[in-house]
């Protein structure tokens, strides 16, 4: 018993997309959250549920009053400064969805209703760096707030973020690295914050490189379905670290309905929650140690040990927590330690030795767009007629 509604596009300083939706009867939400079971969260929760960890959600804002998030959202920061506000349809939809995947705690008697996040005891630090696609002010934001992402990363780190969730990015044909964003990511890593980003939704559009996923040290996440199969829309690239659920994911919305969506944004949120669990139990591990830990304990490892489609396999927080017991805290300054290769990616092509000077690879020029295409269907409340 479903009804399709028109998709809404989410765009901002970095382009993002949030389509449209279908309501779901709250009592039936948990049975639809297949991602929690796939990631063995019940086993992981025997060790940690995210208590003491702050996850910064750099996005369109977060609805702190949502029943599934009340008490888990800290005072945040708005780096846009205009556009839709609380109560408007074009406010905080995407960010609230990501926050719910990370730290939703449900509601109602025994909190049996609504969305349950992978780290339900973690705190969310909302940082508004983009606007929803349906916001009339989005073009102005893209033209005047180009540094919002870099500034937001630094602000989040300086205000206690242990994990930074970036369910956004630019995977357009002209995508290219931005020095300010790269420096902000390295600043976060050097301060001990783990940075997680969505790999991109360009799997059917050329697999263009996506930033910030491609910056050194970032945990880049691709998407899989409930069978562990790589989602066709998920970008395949050398920077893929791990994969996570990204298809038919139930998410909360400020309108108090629930949506079923898809995208690498959702996958990144799941991994940010997994990192929060590890950080909760082992707060002294460095970002590089945690990245390697997730890589080494991933399930469903591709043939050959790694692939551009799934990275090292699907993240397994329970296995990561178990393996972390044998680790000793590393050097906090070694943010990118643990990599034997000269480059994080394939690196520049070597020039043939001759009398001429070797050429340099020119970075692609570009625009900023986002990664998350999340499509949704409103699931009707039980007992309602079509």
Residue 94 is among the residues annotated as catalytic for this protein: yes
Q: 3-class SS at 324?
A: helix
Cis link prior to 212 (omega < 30° from 0)? yes
Tell me the whole-structure pTM to 2 decimals.
0.84
Question: Topology of domain 2-344, per CATH?
Answer: Rossmann fold (3.40.50)
Query: What DSSP line would sit under 144-196, residue for residue?
Result: H-TTHHHHHHHHHHHTT-SEEEE---B-STT----HHHHHHHHHHHHTT-EEE
In the set 134, 210, 260, 265, the catalytic residue is: 265
- By C-alpha distance, which of 296, 263, 294 is closest to 371? 263
pLDDT one digit per residue (tens) for the chain, 386 residues: 232 222 222 232 233 334 434 454 445 899 999 999 999 999 999 999 999 999 999 999 999 999 999 999 999 999 999 999 998 999 999 999 999 999 999 999 999 999 999 999 999 999 999 999 899 999 999 899 999 999 999 999 999 999 999 999 988 888 889 999 999 999 999 999 999 999 999 999 999 999 999 999 999 999 999 999 999 999 999 999 999 999 999 999 999 999 999 999 999 999 999 999 999 999 999 999 999 999 999 999 999 999 999 999 999 999 999 999 999 988 765 555 444 454 445 555 554 444 443 333 333 333 333 444 444 444 433 333 32
In the set 63, 90, 94, 260, the catalytic residue is: 94
Q: Whole-angstrom Cα distance, residue 330 to residue 295?
A: 17
In the set 59, 63, 162, 182, the catalytic residue is: 59
Residue 59 is among the residues annotated as catalytic for this protein: yes
């Amino acid at each position: 018993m479903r009804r399709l509604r028109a998709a809404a596009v989410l765009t901002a300083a970095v382009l993002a997309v949030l389509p449209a939706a279908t309501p779901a009867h709250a009592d039936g939400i948990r049975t639809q959250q297949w991602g929690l079971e796939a990631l063995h969260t019940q086993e992981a929760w025997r060790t940690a549920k995210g208590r003491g960890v702050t996850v910064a959600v750099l996005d369109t804002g977060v609805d702190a009053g949502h029943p599934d998030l009340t008490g888990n959202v800290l005072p945040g920061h708005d780096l846009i400064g205009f556009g839709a506000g609380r109560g408007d349809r074009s406010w905080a939809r995407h960010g609230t969805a990501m926050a719910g995947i990370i730290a939703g705690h449900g509601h109602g008697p025994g909190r049996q209703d609504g969305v349950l996040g992978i780290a339900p005891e973690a705190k969310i630090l909302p940082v508004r760096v983009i606007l929803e696609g349906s916001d009339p002010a989005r073009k102005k934001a893209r033209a005047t707030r180009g540094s919002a992402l870099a500034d937001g990363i630094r602000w989040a780190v300086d205000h206690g973020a242990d994990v930074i969730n970036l369910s956004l990015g630019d995977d357009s044909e002209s995508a290219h690295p931005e020095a300010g964003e790269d420096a902000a990511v390295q600043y976060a890593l050097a301060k001990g914050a783990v940075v997680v980003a969505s790999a991109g939704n360009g799997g059917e559009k050329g697999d263009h490189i996506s930033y910030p996923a491609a910056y050194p040290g970032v945990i880049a996440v691709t998407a899989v379905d409930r069978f562990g199969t790589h989602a066709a829309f998920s970008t395949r690239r050398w920077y893929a670290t791990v994969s996570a659920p990204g298809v038919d994911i139930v998410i909360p919305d400020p309108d108090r309905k629930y949506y079923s969506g898809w995208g690498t944004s959702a996958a990144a949120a799941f991994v940010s929650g997994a990192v929060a669990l590890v950080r909760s139990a082992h707060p002294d591990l460095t970002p590089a140690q945690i990245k390697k830990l997730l890589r080494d304990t991933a399930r469903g490892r591709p043939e050959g040990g790694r692939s551009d489609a799934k990275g090292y396999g699907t993240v397994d927080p329970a296995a990561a927590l178990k393996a972390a017991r044998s680790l000793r805290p590393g050097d906090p300054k070694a943010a990118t330690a643990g990599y034997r290769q000269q480059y994080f990616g394939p690196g520049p092509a070597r020039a043939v030795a001759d009398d001429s000077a070797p050429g340099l690879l020119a970075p692609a020029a570009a625009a900023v767009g986002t990664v998350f295409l999340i499509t949704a269907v409103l699931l009707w409340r039980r007992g309602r007629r079509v």
